[in-house]
Structure 1
Amino acid sequence: MKVATIEPTFDSWRTYARSLLSEKVHYDDIVWKTSGTGSLFDLMSADHRPSPAQLSIPQSFMQDAAFVSAFRDDTTWALLYRLAFRLIYENKHLMSVALDTDVLEFHRRMRLVSRDLHKVKAFVRFKEIKKNDESIYMAWHRPDHRVLKFSAPFFTDRFNGMNWVIFTEDESMSWINNQLTFGPGITQQEALAFDHTEELWKTYYGSIFNPARIKVKAMKKELPVRHWATLPEASIIDDLLRQAPKRLEEFYESQRASAVSLIQENVSSLSELKAAIINCAACSICSKATAPVFGEGPMDAEIVFVGEQPGNEEDMAGSPFVGPAGKLFMDALDKADIKRSDVYLTNAVKGFKWKEHNGMRKHVNPSSFEISACRAWVKSELELIKPRILVCLGASAAQSVFGKLMKVHDSHGKIFKTAFCDQTIILPHPSAILRTQDPEEKMHLETRFLGDIMALKNI
């Protein structure tokens, strides 16, 4: 059994591995150990200096192996040697064997290193240090793996115009006067001695903190709590989260106010409301939509239907309920002998929210904030119309009317008294029928929906 003692670097491993591979030393006959001191040739025994023998090993594997070598586990060196040996002497196509245990582990470690490299790019925080009227920017980060060198292209490109140093416990990387160098690492306590500019960063972070977007589970997934100490803002997140409900309501209220400000007290018609909504900036949905899709129908309508939001067809036509779900809905109205021209049709959210998918605009559900921001318009419509029957089609519509989350399944067909109408009903949105794949279930839902619409005439 041979003991291969190397420095924990890819170059050190590669040099030793070439010697062993040229002598066909089997991977089961080697124990790999690392040492942080001494030069490579001091660590290697005399009879295992590099051999001039040429080895046939794919360059693509060596490139990936260099990346995987950053994985912080000493078993990585044995894994890399085992794969290299098998590629040379057993199967030159080994890396294409997707179910091979070594290949699977190799790619698992590659993914984890890649993820950690992303975190370095995302979570490094520089502090400005003044010295002789010159600035140098310093940062300390605790990566899970030895990825600092792989981040060099990103930082030298992104921060090319300033002098900076990034420290980790293992090593450091500096960019001084456009020259990249690597050096030893330092502890976090040593890094804290830089200066006290963290307070400035905390103040800034607190000012831009958006309670509507905070997702603690996602934060912990992207950066485990054990690493939060490397971020100055992490120390104030708990306080910000405690304040979040109040700040969130204040944020919503400010957005609602921007819509309400457009609705003058003397607005007396739906046409005036429709003209005013063009200038609404309470949320960002309409900035991507063609234009707001306002409601349609007479101001003396006895029945008002509130849907969720316009779809692609509604956005293009500027009219509600003209897409596939709208056609199914219109068919139910026809069968119930209810004319479209006699009812008022609108949506909880007036703009089409979408994202691009395969070159097409794909519908995206509105958020609670967006429903809340648009509620002033729905409220104004209902206050002008004063319907005898108000029908909420889907959860977003119910949330807009009731001002809170409502479960469509539990509330289906029940009659509620709301601020807008004494006879308010919650029904599933017809799009839910279209999304149903099972033919029998789809037919059942269509029949039930038609029955719900026909029952409105008996209320």
Structure 2
Amino acid sequence: MSEAEVEAATLGALAEAEANCTRCPLYRDATQVVPGEGHRQARMMVVGEQPGDKEDLAGRPFVGPAGRLFDQTLAEAGIPRDQIFVTNAVKHFKFEPRGKRRLHRSPNAGEIDRCKWWLGQELKLVAPAVLVAMGATALRSLLGRPVSISSLRGKTGRIEDGIPMIATIHPSWLLRIRDSAARETERQLFLADLRRAWRLAG
């Protein structure tokens, strides 16, 4: 077991261990690791896909454009962000340089699987009553296999250890919908998914 695989006793210790992670090559180009954050005994844990450009620079999850939309939807659902735990399936930003910009690239199966160690540690430490998987990368990590969001959406699934899981879209997808009416329809579905998870969290 490597130094980066020692099980942490606290979320703070876990974040320190994550900062030294070399389990996959993504750490080489990222600015820093982006550990999960939130209530250490949260009843609801939200798992996104990976940090974006703003998250990579800030070292915090969901602080960019998708994060602002996520916060707005949480507020509308009556879910205090400080009462949940928010993290990503992959902890380093994967990108492609394009001039001065860094364009998001989806993690591959190997990167998702190598990073699952950290998500597993967060699950043990927080022990949530319900999980929200936002996006295909989060689903792949939590279930250990590729699964479509549409096949699970609207149902209550379970991960291997029995924790209930709600599958939904990632808020970044909403930002890519050009038609405002279609975007609002999808946002309402996303809102309903979050509300259902919050009710399950009790």
Q: Tell me whether the two structures share a fold, i.e. TM-score over 0.5.
A: yes
Equivalent of residue 411 in structure 1, options 149, 152, 162: 152
From 330, 343, 354, the equivalent of 2:71 is 330
Contact 1:382 1:420 in 2 (8 A): no
Corresponding residue of 2:123: 382
Change (3 A) 1:441 1:398: same
TM-score when scaled to structure 2?
Answer: 0.94
Cα deviation for residue 456 of structure 1 reads 2.3
2:175 corresponds to which residue? 434
CA distance in 2, matches of 1:383, 1:287: 27
Letter in 2 for 1:285: L
CA deviations 1:180-201 (Å, max 9, x no partner) are xxxxxxxxxxxxxxxxxxxxxx
Alignment of 1:100-179 (within 5 A): none
* 1:167-221 deviation digits (Å, cap 9, x = unpaired): xxxxxxxxxxxxxxxxxxxxxxxxxxxxxxxxxxxxxxxxxxxxxxxxxxxxxxx
Q: Does 1:397 align with 2:142?
A: no
Q: Which residue of 2 aligns with 1:262?
A: 4
What corresponds to 1:367 in structure 2? 108
Q: Distance in 2 between matches of 1:331 and 1:405?
A: 29
Higher radius of gyration, 1 or 2: 1
Query: Could you tell me the percent identity over the aligned residues?
Result: 38
Distance (Å, rounded) in 1 between the aligned partners of 2:29 and 2:154: 35
Equivalents in 2 of 1:421, 1:329: separation in Å? 26
Tell me the distance in 2 between the aligned counterparts of 1:403 and 1:299: 25
Instruction: Point out where structure 1 has 5 or more consecutive residues left out of the alignment.
Output: 1-256
Report deviation, 1:413: 2.6
Amino acid at match of 2:5: I
TM-score, scaled relative to structure 1 = 0.42
The alpha-carbon deviation at position 421 of structure 1 amounts to: 4.5
Cα distance in 1 between the residues matched to 2:104 and 2:135: 15
Which of 1 and 2 has higher RCO (CA within 8 Å, sep 6+)? 2
8 Å Cα contact 2:19-2:32 kept in structure 1: yes
Aligned to 2:91: 350
In the aligned structure 2, how far is the partner of 1:421 from the partner of 1:330?
A: 28
Mapped to 2, the partners of 1:276 and 1:321 lie a distance apart of 21
Give me the whole-angstrom Cα distance separating, in 2, the residues matched to 1:426 and 1:452.
8
Counterpart pick for 2:193 among 436, 442, 452: 452
Which residue identity does 1:389 align to in structure 2?
Answer: V
- Contact 1:398–1:405 under 8 Å retained in 2: yes
| CA distance in 1: counterparts of 2:169 and 2:124, whole angstroms | 24
Partner of 1:228: none
Shift of 1:412: 1.0
Partner of 1:319: 60
User: Is 1:305 matched with 2:46?
Assistant: yes
- How many residue pairs end up in the alignment? 200
**Where does structure 2 lack aligned partners over 5 or more consecutive residues?**
none
From 9, 31, 40, give the equivalent of 1:290: 31
Are the aligned partners of 1:299 and 1:384 in contact in 2 as well (CA < 8 Å)?
yes
- Cα shift at 1:263: 3.0
Q: Provide the secondary structure at the position in 2 that maps to 1:262.
A: helix
